[in-house]
Homo-oligomer: A and B are copies of this chain.
Amino acid sequence: MATDTANSSVAGDLRAPITPEGRTMVDLLTGVLPQIRSEAGDNDRDGTFPVEVFGQLAKLGLMGATVPTALGGLGVHRLYDVAVALMRLAQADASTALALHVQLSRGLTLTYEWLHGSPPVRALAERLLRAMATGEAAVCGALKDAPGVVTELTADGSGGWLLNGRKILVSMAPIGTHFFVHAQRRDADGNVLLSVPIVRRDAPGLTVGTHWDGLGMRASGTLDVSFHDCPVAADHVLDRGPAGARRDAVLAGQTVSSITMLGIYAGVAQAARDLAVEMCARRRSQPAAAVLALVAGIDTRLYTLRAVAGTALLNADLLAADLTGDLDERGRGMMTPFQYAKMTVNELAPAVVDDCLSLVGGQAYAGQHPLARLYRDVRAGGFMQPYSYVDGVDYLSGQALGANRDNDYMSVRALRSPTPAGER
């Protein structure tokens, strides 16, 4: 890894990347932002995934931004820098940022597998990372089972596996070439084992849905993916251990996978703020009292959410780089501040957007006004992995009060009966 020479000038407010690699990524992105911004409204209205934009991102090497330089990527390795890039992107279009996040966080977690995994996992990770760097591979994560469904691996009788089930809310799916599918399998004693088969899009039995009508994030290519006796080779399954193992060490990887999304909601809030404050600044008349109070409040909350996200990201970077201590403690040490930040971002980003609507007035209520889109997009934050507000209260109060509980939400879900159809 490169030395972080720029480190001494970090203020932690997501203003700029820390590392040279981060700056390169942001510079490359900057060139594509005008196009992304100009298409955002139409893509939102129609629920269209911007395939062409992702083609350009691939050409620029941005689909491999978090792939190590040794494997052909840009080598961005700081979560902080990824979040800064996603914030810039989300200021133009949050849906695009949400989809790109999938690829960037996969780059980070696969790099970890490449460095620390078993030999076959390292080989698999290397192949995928190299393909991500060239833009050939777009790797989706499929976490959430459809209501009433348990996605499962069963032995195919000849050393491989068959995958059956259905996943919902898989972002970037329209261009996904590989899917990391969170599945269960059972050992001889009936214990549930958490497994992640990696399935190619052209695998027999895999079907990607065609349309998702979301309240917001409508251009993020968030689709259902189903598996019907879909064959998976034995060396394409990552083992995540038994459900219920209570290894808080896994919280580290879950943090890496999700924490950079804080940048997306910071970007949504920033976009709303810029739009509303610029409109107020253009008005010729003396601003009303409430306008001044709202503007001061918006900027205060925006800085606060950037600061809390930035601080949690710096913390995660520090701990991610240090594998010398207790790994369970490291996992909690990464996840807990992440959840503090997520709780606050999920409260403040919608509040900022809401006040921006009040500043702009009735025209912001038109369906295709950018603020109307931001109002819908920003609400997605509360549903991002891990945790929702409800689950976050359990996790954080458990940490404070020393509760004895399973902090791995994938494990908890696996051990729960499937959600009945009609709930999620």
| A-to-B contact residues, CB < 8 Å | 4, 7-13, 144, 147, 169, 213-216, 218, 277, 279-281, 283, 287-297, 299-301, 303-304, 306-308, 310-312, 314-315, 318, 337, 339-341, 343-344, 350, 354, 357-359, 361-369, 372, 375-376, 379-380, 382-383, 388-397, 399-402, 423-424
Residue contact A215 to B393, C-beta cutoff 8 Å: no
Set B279, B389, B424: member contacting A290, Cβ < 8 A: B389
In the assembly, how many copies of this chain are there?
Answer: 4
Complex A-B, nearest 4 residue pairs according to Cβ-Cβ distance, in ascending order = A307-B311, A363-B424, A289-B292, A290-B393
Residues on B with beta carbons closer than 8 Å to the beta carbon of A391: 288, 290
Residues on B with beta carbons closer than 8 Å to the beta carbon of A358: 382, 388-390
7 inter-chain pairs at a CB distance below 8 angstroms, sorted by A residue, are A7-B8, A10-B314, A213-B368, A277-B401, A287-B397, A307-B311, A358-B389
Q: Output the nearest chain B residue to A372 by Cβ-Cβ distance.
A: B215
Set B8, B218, B357, B399: member contacting A4, Cβ < 8 A: B8
Residue contact A12 to B310, C-beta cutoff 8 Å: yes
Residue contact B289 to A340, C-beta cutoff 8 Å: no
Residues on B with beta carbons closer than 8 Å to the beta carbon of A310: 12, 307, 311
| Cα distance A214–B364 in the bound complex, in angstroms | 9
Residue contact B292 to A424, C-beta cutoff 8 Å: no
Residues on B with beta carbons closer than 8 Å to the beta carbon of A304: 304, 308, 340-341, 344
- Given A296-B400, A311-B307, the answer on whether A354 and B350 have CB atoms closer than 8 Å is yes
